[in-house]
């Protein structure tokens, strides 16, 4: 009806804010876009449209859209599952006595997810979510599940290029290409998510916009063995495809591996091995085991199943150390901070990932809402089966994956930026509260120059879309865009693919 909605009665009983409750819809008010629920005798709650805009009937063939009217969600007499939103003044997980209750819908999703977060300086794990509900599934999707990386693998390729003779301003070409295997007859026509080709663009923009064909050209020039060796240095241990499809993240990796690789960029080029165990004490309070990490595994124990993951092997190593009483040297923070890439390379890679967040068309632009210095990259696999976002601040690195355990699409439009990034952003908003808002430190050997977007040379008076770019000292352009021809561009280490 169009009458003024009846306000929900203040809670007369202790009401938990961290549990799923059942309620009956007693009133729906289109005028105020609210619904009133009865949770128990003398206990009512209000649901606002803004908190349930997502609650549409699922249809994987349709692009997701918000619900626009409260009556499209609720009808009087329905029984619904809800949770009470917490508020200031609540105590020990219960709503403060007498306050107005606001509720949100609760559901048990079919999709699964995982989150892993750890401190960049110490490796101490701050959060690990292996799935929606441990009672439903004990499988740890953060450390055990191998899923296609999609575009979340691209930063590894671009960092590998920076270690060679590429710069962040090197010009790549995004154009349609057809690859055909004469033996099998297989034909591959890689496309961008937008189904458009962008032509010439700097490497920085190619990664920020997650441009597929430009990345394939870059990968082809680097050679597959070089990229795989570089990925191993960053901590990727899973088997990797030795073909062009690796450029688009066709190989399956764990969230642990990917998050650990990104941490190298944020830590100034040092490996960061997550520490899951601070110490183990006996019943007398005596320490019997120190800090333990999940890191590179030199050998897999013979008794571990052949299909075990790197995390399984590392857990086995910890078990063996407990049985033998030996505390491995990897527990020493100084040992597990090995320099695997140079500080200048790490900063340039970090700067590219910041562009993915802060540049106009960056796929990670949703992370800007944190209003902090962060970098990160989305990942979406073919047909939308896996959604990723992995990113970091100077203090914390966090990775998020969303998908199904079986091969199944999440739905039309469910990309890493739409599905995984909001989870990452909400978590980081809380995780970074104890950390100051600071920029990534600039190491020695980094210089900055204003660059022309079309050529990658120094911006001239007529340059359009010029931007400030970091370079390794000695690799920055010295000519202005107006002074150089395209031949000069290639001579300035600006790569124009001919593939």
What does DSSP say about strands 375-380 and 292-293: parallel, antiparallel, or unpaired? unpaired
How far is residue 361's CA from residue 363's CA, in Å, rounded to a whole number? 6
Ranges for all domains in the chain classified under CATH 3.40.710.10? 112-272+338-431
The domain 112-272+338-431 is placed in CATH, from the list 3.40.710.10, 3.40.50.970, 3.30.160.40, 3.30.420.40, at 3.40.710.10
Residue 324: CA count within 13 A, CB half-sphere: 9
CATH code of the region 21-105: 2.40.50.140
Owner of token pair 């900055």 = 448
φ/ψ of residue 286, rounded to 5: -85, 135
Give the ranges where 94-174 is alpha helix by DSSP (H): 154-163
CB neighbourhood size of 283 (10 A): 5
Predicted confidence pLDDT, tens digits, the chain (499 residues): 455 666 555 555 688 887 889 999 999 999 999 999 999 888 999 999 988 888 877 776 777 678 889 998 999 999 999 999 888 888 888 888 878 899 998 888 889 999 999 999 999 999 999 998 888 889 999 999 999 999 999 999 999 999 998 999 999 998 887 877 677 777 888 877 777 888 899 999 999 999 999 999 999 999 999 999 999 999 999 999 999 999 999 999 999 999 999 999 999 999 999 998 888 888 888 888 777 666 554 444 444 444 555 556 656 655 665 555 554 444 455 556 899 999 999 999 999 999 999 999 999 999 999 999 999 999 999 777 899 999 999 999 999 999 999 988 888 888 999 999 999 999 999 999 999 999 999 999 999 999 999 999 999 988 888 999 999 999 999 999 875 444 433 323 333 333 3
Q: Where in the chain is the domain with CATH 2.40.50.140?
A: 21-105
Contacts of 467 by beta carbon, 8 Å cutoff, 6+ apart:
204, 450, 451, 453
Q: pTM value? A: 0.79
Q: Under a CB-based contact definition with an 8 Å cutoff, are residues 496 and 173 in contact?
A: yes
Backbone angles phi, psi at 5, to 5 degrees: -65, 145
Residues 397 and 234 sit within 8 Å (Cβ to Cβ):
no
The values of phi and psi at residue 123, to 5°, are 80, 0
Concatenate the DSSP letters of all residues of 59-91 into one string.
Answer: -TTS-------GGGT--TT-EEEEEEPP-TT-B
């Amino acid at each position: 009806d169009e009458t003024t909605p009846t306000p929900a009665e203040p809670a007369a009983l202790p009401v938990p804010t961290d549990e799923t409750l059942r309620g009956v819809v007693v009133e729906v008010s289109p005028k105020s876009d609210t619904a009133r629920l009865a949770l128990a005798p003398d206990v009512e709650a209000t649901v606002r449209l803004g908190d349930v805009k997502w609650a549409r009937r699922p249809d994987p063939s349709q692009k997701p859209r918000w619900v626009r009217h409260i009556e499209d969600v609720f009808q009087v007499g329905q029984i619904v599952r809800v949770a009470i939103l917490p508020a200031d003044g609540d105590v020990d997980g219960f709503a403060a006595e007498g306050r107005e209750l606001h509720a949100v819908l609760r559901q048990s999703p079919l999709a699964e997810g995982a989150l892993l977060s750890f401190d960049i300086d110490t490796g101490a794990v701050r959060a690990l979510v292996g799935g929606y509900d441990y009672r439903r599934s004990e499988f740890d999707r953060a450390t055990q599940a191998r899923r296609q990386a999609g575009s979340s693998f691209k930063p590894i390729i671009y960092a590998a290029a920076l270690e060679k003779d590429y710069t962040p301003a090197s010009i790549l070409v995004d154009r349609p290409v057809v690859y055909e295997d004469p033996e099998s007859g297989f034909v591959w026509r890689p496309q961008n998510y937008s189904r458009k080709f962008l032509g010439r663009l700097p490497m920085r923009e190619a990664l920020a916009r997650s441009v597929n064909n430009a990345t394939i050209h870059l990968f082809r020039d680097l050679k597959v063995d070089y990229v795989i060796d570089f990925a191993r240095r960053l901590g990727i241990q899973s088997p990797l495809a030795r073909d062009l499809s690796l450029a688009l993240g066709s190989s399956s990796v764990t969230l642990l591996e990917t998050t650990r690789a990104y941490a190298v960029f944020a830590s100034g080029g040092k490996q960061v091995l997550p520490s899951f165990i601070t110490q183990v004490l006996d019943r007398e309070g005596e320490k019997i085991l120190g800090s333990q990490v999940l890191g590179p595994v030199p050998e897999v124990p013979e008794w571990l199943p052949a299909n075990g993951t790197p995390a399984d092997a590392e857990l086995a190593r910890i078990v063996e150390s407990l049985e033998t009483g030996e505390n491995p040297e990897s527990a020493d923070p100084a040992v597990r901070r090995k320099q695997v890439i140079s500080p200048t390379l790490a900063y340039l890679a970090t700067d590219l990932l910041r562009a993915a967040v802060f540049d106009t068309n960056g796929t990670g632009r949703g992370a800007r809402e944190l209003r902090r210095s962060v970098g990160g990259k989305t990942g979406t696999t073919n047909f939308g089966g896996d959604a990723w976002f992995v990113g970091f601040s100077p203090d914390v690195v966090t990775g998020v994956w969303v998908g199904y355990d079986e091969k199944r699409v999440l739905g039309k439009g469910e990309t890493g930026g739409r599905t995984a990034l909001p989870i990452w952003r909400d978590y980081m908003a809380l995780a970074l509260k104890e950390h100051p808002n600071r920029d990534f430190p600039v190491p020695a050997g980094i210089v900055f120059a204003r660059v022309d977007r079309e050529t990658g040379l120094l911006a001239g008076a007529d340059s359009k879309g010029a931007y400030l770019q970091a370079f390794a000292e000695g690799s920055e352009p010295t000519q202005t865009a107006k002074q150089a021809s395209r031949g000069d561009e290639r001579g300035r280490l600006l790569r124009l693919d001919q593939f």
